[in-house]
Structure 1
Amino acid sequence: MKSFIEKMPKAELHLHIEGTLEPDMMLALAKKNEVSLSYKNNDEVKSAYQFKDLQSFLDLYYQGMQVLQSQEDFYQLTWAYLERCAQQNIIYCEIFFDPQAHMARGILFETVLDGIEQATLQAKEQLGVEAKIIFSILRHLTESEAEALLDIAIQHKSRLIGMGLDSTEKGNPPEKFKNVFKRAGEAGFYRVAHAGEEGDASYVSGALTLLGVDRIDHGNNAMQDSALLHELKDREVALTLCPLSNFRLQVVSDHKSHPLKQMFDMGLKVTINSD
C-alpha cells in the first residue's frame, strides 16, 4: 500500500511555503543575510518544533521567515519544496504565501512573488510539477490592511490563482473580512479561507455565507453542526484537511480523533495535505 501511494499521482492544495523552510536552509540563509537566530544548529531548530498549539507554531513560523529576504531566497525555498513534490509524485499543488509578513519587514510583494513564481515556472518545465500561487491575508491584522494588500494583488492578477485567509482564528471571525472578500470575488480571484481549525463551526459557516469562499481550508469543527455538514455535502465544497499538522499542533489529541474518516464516510469532498 505504501508503495502504491508513493507512486500514484497526487495533488497538494494546502501548503504554506514559508512553513516548508528546512533547518539547513534556515541556518544557511541566516548566515548569508546576517540574521541573528536563537538556534545555533539543526538540532536546536528541530527541538523547537514541539508545539502546544497553533499560536506556538506561528511564533516559530514568523521568526523563521526572517531569513527570507531576497528573490533568490524565495526561489530557493520554493524550488526545494517542488523538488520534494516531484520525488513524491505530487504533480499539482497550490502554494500559499503570506505577503503581509514580509512587507512588514520592508520586503516588496513583488520580490516574494517573483521568487516563488520563478521556481514554479522552472518546476513545470523541468520536473513536470504544476504549481499555482495563492496570496493570503493575515487575519490578525486589520481589514484596511487586507484591502491595501488586495489592491497590490490585483495588479498581479494573472500570476495568482486566488486569495486566502490564515493566521490565528481566535478573535478574528470571517465577518471581519466580508468586504475584502467581496472585492476579491469581483476581481476574479478564487477565494478560500482557513476556518474551523481553532474556531468553532460558525467560522466555517461564516466563511461560506459571508465570504463566499470556494473552498474551506481545514474545517474540522464543521463536525459540531449537522446542518452545516449537509450544506458542505450538498454544495460539494472541498475541505483541505491536514491531519498530521493538526496532530503536531495539538488540534487533535491523536490520529484516530481526527474527523477525516468520518467526513469521508459522510460523502464530503475531503483532501489530505501537509499544511
Structure 2
Amino acid sequence: MKKFIRCLPKVELHVHIEGTLEPELMFKLAKRNHITLPFNSFAEVREAYNFNNLQSFLDIYYQGANVLIHEQDFFDLTWAYLQRCQADNVLHTELFFDPQTHTQRGIAFATVVNGIDRALKKGVTELGISSKLILCFLRHLDETAAFATLAQAQTEKDKIFAIGLDSSELGHPPEKFTGVFTEAIKQGFLTVAHAGEEGPASNISDALDLLQISRIDHGVRCTDDPALLAKLVTQRIPLTVCPLSNIKLKVFAQMADHNIVVLLRKGLCVTINSDDPAYFGGYMSDNFLAVSEAHPMSKAELTQFTFNAIEASFIADDEKMRLNRLTQQYLEHN
C-alpha cells in the first residue's frame, strides 16, 4: 500500500507556502539575509515544533517567516515545495500565501507574489505541475487591513486566482470579513475560508452563507451539525482536510480518532492536504500514509481522495477530465 500511495496521482488544495519553510532553508536564508534566529541548530527548530495549539504554532510560524526578505527568497521557498510535490506525484496544487505577514515587515507585496509566481511558472515548464495562487487574509487582523491588502493585489491580479481566510479562528468569526469578501467576489475572485477546525460548526455555515465561499478549508467540525453535514453531502461542498496538521494541533488526539474516513464514507467531497508540512511533519504522501495506517482502506477509497480533489479544484473542466482519466488508469493498473 505504501508504494501505491506514493505513486498515486495527487492534487493539493490546502497548503500555506510559508508553512513549507524547512529548517535547512530557514537557516540558509537567515545566513544570506543576515537574520539572527533564536535557534542554534536544526534540532532546536524541530524541538520548537512541539505545539500545544494553533496559536503556539502561529507564534513560531510568523517568526520563521522573518527570513523571507527578497523575491529570490520567495522563489526558493516555492521551488523547494514544488520539488516535494514532484516527489509525491502531486500534479496540481492550489497554494495559499499570506501577504500581510510580509507587508507588515516592510516587504513589498510585489516582492512576495513575483517570487512565488516565478517559481510556479517554472514548475509548469520543468516539472509539469500546474498551480493556482490564493491570497489569504489574516483573520486576527481587522477588515480594514484586509481591504488594504485587496487593494495592493490589484496590480497583481493576473497572478492571483482566489481569496482565502486563515490564521486564528477562535474569536474571529467569518462575519468579521463579510464586506471584503463581497468586494473580492465583485472583482472576479473565487473565495475559500478556513472554518470548523478549532472553531465551531457554525463558522462553517456562516462562511458559506456570508462569505459565499467555494470550499471549506478544514471543516472537520461539520459532524457537530447534522443539518450542515447533510447540506455538504447534497451540495458537494468540498472540505480540504489536513490530517497530520489536525493531530499536531490537537484537533484530534490521534489519527485513529480522526473523522476524515467517516466523512469520505458518508459521501462528502473530502480531500487530503498537508497544510504547513514543514511544521507538521508531512507532505502529501505522508498524510495519505498516516490516514491509511490508522484507518484500513481500499485502494479505491484512497483514490477517491484524489478524485474529490480534482472535482474541488479550480482547474478547467477539460484538465479535470484529463486528470480523472490518468487517476482512473493508475487505479485500474495498480
1:124-156, Cα deviation, whole Å (9 max, x unpaired): 000111121101000000111111111122332
Residue matched to 2:20: 20
Once the 2 structures are TM-superposed, how far is the Cα of residue 249 of structure 1 from its aligned partner? 1.2
CA RMSD of aligned residues (A): 0.8
Residue matched to 2:67: 67
Q: Distance in 2 between matches of 1:131 and 1:77?
A: 15
Residue matched to 1:123: 123
Residue matched to 1:87: 87
Residue matched to 1:148: 148
1:188-230, Cα deviation, whole Å (9 max, x unpaired): 1110000001110110000000110000000011110000011
- Structure 2 gap ranges (5+): 276-334
Q: Distance in 2 between matches of 1:115 and 1:15?
A: 17
- Give secondary structure in 2 for the equivalent of 1:192: strand
Q: Distance in 2 between matches of 1:158 and 1:24?
A: 32
Residue matched to 1:205: 205
Confirm whether residue 53 of structure 1 aligns to residue 73 of structure 2.
Answer: no
* Structure with the larger RCO, 1 or 2 (CA within 8 Å, 6+ apart): 2
Once the 2 structures are TM-superposed, how far is the Cα of residue 14 of structure 1 from its aligned partner? 0.3
Equivalent pairs, count: 275
TM-score w.r.t. length of structure 1: 0.99
Matched to 2:269, the amino acid is K
Q: Distance in 2 between matches of 1:37 and 1:155?
A: 33
Residue matched to 2:303: none
Q: Distance in 2 between matches of 1:62 and 1:92?
A: 26
- Structure 1 gap ranges (5+): none
Q: Distance in 2 between matches of 1:159 and 1:115?
A: 11
- Give secondary structure in 2 for the equivalent of 1:172: coil
Residue matched to 1:178: 178
Q: Distance in 1 between matches of 2:46 and 2:198?
A: 24
1:164-192, Cα deviation, whole Å (9 max, x unpaired): 00000111000000111111111111100
- Give secondary structure in 2 for the equivalent of 1:205: helix
1:68-125, Cα deviation, whole Å (9 max, x unpaired): 0000000000000001101111010011000001000000110000000010000100
Asked whether the 8 Å contact 1:154–1:187 carries over to 2, the reply is no
Q: Distance in 1 between matches of 2:88 and 2:2?
A: 11
Q: Which runs of 4+ in 1 moved over 6 A?
A: none
Farther-moved stretch of structure 1 (224-233 vs 2-11):
2-11
Structure with greater proportional helix content: 2
Q: Distance in 1 between matches of 2:259 and 2:207?
A: 19
TM-score w.r.t. length of structure 2: 0.81
